Structure 1
Amino acid sequence: MNSRRQRPKSSRQVKPWEWFWLTLWVLLLTGSGIFCGWALMWLTRIPPLPDCDQVTPFHSESDLLYCAKAQARTGEPNSLVQSVLLTANWPKTHSQYDESQEVLKDASEQILVLANRWAQAGKLDDAIDLAEKIPLNTPLRKSAQAVIFEWRQDWEQGRAIEAKLRPALAASDWTLAKTHLQEFKALKSDYWLTTRYVFWQQQFLVEQQAWNQLLQARDLAGTNKIENLRQAVVLARDIDLRSQVWQAAEQDIDAWSKTVLDVALQRWQVGDRTGALELASVVPPSPHLLPAAQELLALSHAQTLATQADPSGVAPRYSHMFGLMAAVSAVNQLPANSPYAAADLSSVDQWSEQLTDLRRLTFSDRVARLGQRLTYDWAIHQAQMVEVDRPRRIQGQTMVAQWQANLQRIADRPILLEARSLAKPGTIAALETAIAKASEIELGRALRVEAQTLVAGWQQEIQVIEDRPILDAAVALAEQDKLQEAIAEANKIESGRALHSRAQGLVQEWTATIQIAEDKPILDEAKDLAYSGSLTAAINLAGQIGPGRALYDEARNAIALWKAERAYIWSIWEAEGRPVPGGDSSSTTESE
């Protein structure tokens, strides 16, 4: 019966067209969501900033204004000009006209400030070019034209003053030159008031000094003495080349040099070669000299170069090498038929030998700078090849001593590093081991002083470790008010120990505390006597505090005050005819 009541189960299937519609709606909903999300992002995103380097008038007004502001903030000349161009000629009806005018005015003001700075620095053309970049029909165009006119006026006046000042200095008319120099102060530009004024003031001093030197040289030359003539050449050659006097001095130098060389040739011919070379050494080279004079001059200059190359300092100098090379070359270039070539020039051989040694030392020094043991050994071997009688021998031995010291440092540095490492634990045993290690560096070694300094420091550390318990015990006793015991304990630290000065400072402090405790009642009682009128008794009582005590100075100040007060009282008594006590030891009170 139950089987008849059961109904068959439904087995309905989804048809294909129903799947199509379901998929379509899902796709439509998904696409709509994606589109709405993209639209929301597009609406809320920040618009990209314009590329101000590529901005043109065809961009939007907001982009133009943004770039104008950005370029005005840079303060650069080209950017400021671009900012002005972007904001000029905006119509007044534009909604952002007022804002653009503010940017235009700000950029124009910066242009004028920068142009004025250039003008004050002397860059007039650049300043005018920049100021003229402010367009027509803009607020600061008239100001720019006015400033440009002022600059040009100042430049015309300044150049006119210089045109008058230059010939006045050339003529050595110092009064007229000073008058023209003061005319700069009437100009407005800082360039003419400071830069050019200072320049011409210095030039005035240069010309004045050069003229005085030339007059002194002419006075010396006028004596017709060869030594004075030589000094005149030297003095005239020292004249500042920036001066206009130099042209006149150069003519005098040529004339005087010819006379000096003639006398030098005469001295050479009579056998006074040293005097001849000394005279010729002051003469400047000149293409107008006779061959014999030119050869003597070349020989003299060669000797001067060789003298300047004498050993000085530790390291060899390239300038000395080049000087010796030039000296040897100058002598070797003398013609074979020259009277100087046949002379006894033994010094040339010395220069050649010195040049050889100098080259050797220079190369050795460069090799030694590599800082390796092998390079130092090679450099020392080369430097020791300089013979004993050579001029560079002392310099070579000095360099050898330095290199040997560097070798000692290379050898001993690991010992010091190991000693430092051993001392790091800070214990007595570690420090003693480090001291023993550092003491391996023998006396006379390059690092001996550094090693002994470390040893001294470690010895002090050991003393501190040993004496610290004594000092701590003394401090503990002092904190318990057992000052005598604390002093006795601190005095156990002997003189010369690291903590001795610290211990003695505490001893002095505790001793002063004990003395104050002993003498304070005496001084207080003396003050009470003084307040009650017994000044003599107070003085006598306070006098019991002896020198060296902690309260001695305070007691002496109080005694001095009481004595002055007592003397004043006695002077009043004496004026009133009353008897005055006969001595300081009187026990009679002053109030009686």
Structure 2
Amino acid sequence: MASKYNDGDSAFTKRPSASHDDAYPRDCLHSKSNANRFPATPLGLRWLRSWPIVVLILFGILGTVGTTAIVSLFRIPTLPNCRAVFWPTASAALRLQCADSYAAEGSVKNLLAAIKLVDQLPADHPLRTDINQRIEGWASQVLDLAERSFEAGDLEGAIASARKIPAKTAAARLVEERIARWQKIWKEGEDTFNTAVAQLKKKDFQKAFSLSVKLLDVDNKYWATEKYNELTKLIGVARTDLKALSEALGFAKEGTVKGFTEALKRLKNINKESIFYAEAQSERKNIAKRMLQISEELLANRQLSSAQVLLSAIPRDTGINREIADFQIFVTAYQQAWIGSVDGLESAISRMKTLGKDRPRYAQGQRLIAQWEGELRNLTLLSQAQEQAGRGSTADLGSAISTARQISRDSPQWEEAAKQINKWQTRIETVEDRPILERGDRLAAVGTPDNLRAAIQEVRKISSGRTLRNEAENRIADWTGRIQRLEDQPLLDQARQRANTGDLAGAIAIASRIGQGRVLYNAAQDDIDGWQVQENGRLRLDEALTVAARGDVESLTRAIDLAQQVPSQSSNRDRADSQIDQWSWELLDQAESAAERSLDQAISIAGRIPSQAEAYETAQSQISAWQAARRRSVEDSQRPLPSAPGSDPNTGALPNTLQLAPPP
């Protein structure tokens, strides 16, 4: 700005320059009439003697001077150097001139400087009216510039500029109202924008888009254009980033090195300007922690190579480098602990103690130290127990078991301790219970039921769950079977004797006294089933004979049905078949007799003969003949023919009966 006003003082200090007559030598202005007074002009000035040329030169000089004068008259005087003016003594005209120059810059700062410069003049100054008009104009310009700042998005700058307007101006009365309007509009845009961003964070893109459209209605260019464009771009980027975020989490759920690596890669590609950047970074760190956790689990399960592969896939920019460094200490400590010896565990504990309290895995390290110290105690206890058991007595074995049982059941040493405890317990129980089995064997050797029962009672002293309990159970089962056989065999023999004499009912009754679950029960049931079949067959045949004795068609039919119910494995089966043949021939005889009265009745009776009977084929032939005769009779009745005198209508017909007899 200063450079613009550096030559300002010249406008007030310069005076018109010397006249044109002073600018040139006077001898050049003498008239031509005086030329003869001078000697001959040298050759170089001979052109002066040509008056047309001289006249042209004079006109040129006069034109140049006139043009310069006219330009000087219409040119704005150069501004004074306002920055260097001593204002207490400056004139009102100078103040106005400098104020105008400031205001011409058009910035809020210069407009306010212009107002301040002229407002210091007294209220009764002759130029006060002009000054006040200018102040009002400049104040209005400041308010307009503040409005522009607001439209451009600088709310604070707009408010600050507006509040610098002098209070006595008309524009000042509009300031607070204008500021209130700006703040209301700004809050509307800000709330809409922030709410849309919040909806984006909730992944509700539909609401976010609806809110972005509302920004177009905000009465501010900055919010309706720049912030609207920013929000729509943010929504578009958020859609892409959310998809990447979802895909990354999907890969991470696979739980594999490949899945974790792909997930971390996709999350890293989410830009810092994204609405989901913070979430992506958080998830990225969570995935890295999950990978580290799985690595620790693999390490705890002695899968060192798998743990190291997974650990190497964790990026070093996820913020868990200290945890990874601690994990390396875990690796070396675990390797020492896996040796399983006292020295190995002590080395593991020493290594783990290098983790300070400020380390992220310190707590986990302390838990492992406590675990390994417990394992050290367990190794000591197991060694003591083995030393006690080596003495060999049951008391020493019992002490060894008590010592070994102090080992924690969730420690690696418990498996070996449990194995030793079982071995020692077996030795104790064998020593204690073997004499009981031997006493039982001696009692059972006598072989009587009473001695066998006494032997059973003796071995039952060996309680369930003890080493020799299975041997005792086997002996009890064997001896119980021997007792039952001694008690039940006479009953079964007696029942069989009854059956051999034909008293099947008595045999069944005796054999049924052998109860279920006893040694001979199945044998008795097999015999009972056979006898029951025989008895049922006899009863059915007896009933059939009784019914058949009546001799009528229905009785014979019923008798045949009953005889057919005699079981095939029954000894009465052959007799039943013979009776069926006999009764079938009797039915056929009755059918032939009925044919004299009614062919239909004869056919019905003959049809009752069973297919396995001897008379079946003969009966079927007879039925066919009777059916043919019945058809001819029906045809003859429907088509009567004249008959010759004395002719017999039955001539040529089949006889009503055939003289068929059963084979001898």
TM range (shorter): 0.3 to 0.5
TM-score normalised by the chain length of structure 1: 0.41
TM-score normalised by the chain length of structure 2: 0.37
